[in-house]
Amino acid sequence: MYQRFRRKEILDKTRLVDVPCLDASRILLEFLLFEDGGGYIHANRVTYPFLRNQFILTQGPLPRTVPEFWRMIWQEKVETIIMLCKNVENGKRKCAEYFSNYFDIPSSYVNGQLTIFLRARYQESDMIISTMELRYLSNSRTIIHYQWVAWPDCQVNLLFTEDP
């Protein structure tokens, strides 16, 4: 069910070892096949008959997995990212800084082949909405990034309780 997830050589690419990455639906990074990780990223594709769109669920990138995160975004032609945490919550790092917060300083990964530019940013209530340009070699795509800064850490079940 999740044998790949348990392999020693990819444990350093996993933020939470108690949250498995299922083999049947995990994303395989096709143009990034390392001998030490085999294109592994802790991310699963979510499909269901009633859903119009597919989704990818992934953990917040670790500093060492940010390049894989952006390779996945490019490979899977992701147009929208929804982030359900702050980078730091209650003094604990929840997610690596995976793009620059400055308009004039791009982030570059994969030996400079993948570059992320922040093009616009604004906040509405508990949501920070950013528009980014992701470039790979001579091609570019627009990515919309929604960061919900009020999402409760480890208390999601409280949001979905039924009325008695």
Q: What is the pLDDT of residue 25?
A: 82
Could you tell me if residue 164 is inside a domain? no
pTM > 0.85: no
Q: What is the pLDDT of residue 19?
A: 67
Could you tell me if residue 157 is inside a domain? no
Q: What is the pLDDT of residue 18?
A: 64
Q: What's the total number of domains in the chain?
A: 1
Q: What is the CATH number of the domain that holds 39?
A: 3.90.190.10
Q: What is the pLDDT of residue 37?
A: 47
- Kindly compute the dihedral angle of the four CA atoms of residues 61, 67, 69, 72, in this order, to the nearest 10 degrees: -170
List the domain range (segments joined by +) for residue 11: 4-152
Q: What is the pLDDT of residue 48?
A: 83
Could you tell me if residue 44 is inside a domain? yes
Structure tokens at 119: 């093009």
Kindly report, residue by residue over 42-51, the tens digit of the pLDDT: 888 888 888 8
Could you tell me if residue 161 is inside a domain? no
Q: What is the pLDDT of residue 3?
A: 54
Could you tell me if residue 158 is inside a domain? no
Could you tell me if residue 93 is inside a domain? yes
Q: What is the pLDDT of residue 135?
A: 94
Distance CA 129, CA 144 (A): 7
* Selection from 24, 43, 40 nearest residue 32 by Cα: 40
Could you tell me if residue 162 is inside a domain? no
Tokens 């996993």 -> residue: 14
Residues in the chain with pLDDT < 50? Answer: 32-37, 158-161, 164
Tell me the residue ranges of DSSP E strands in 52-138: 55-58, 80-83, 88-89, 92-93, 107-109, 114-124, 127-136
Beta 80-83 vs 139-148: how paired, if at all?
Answer: parallel
Could you tell me if residue 92 is inside a domain? yes
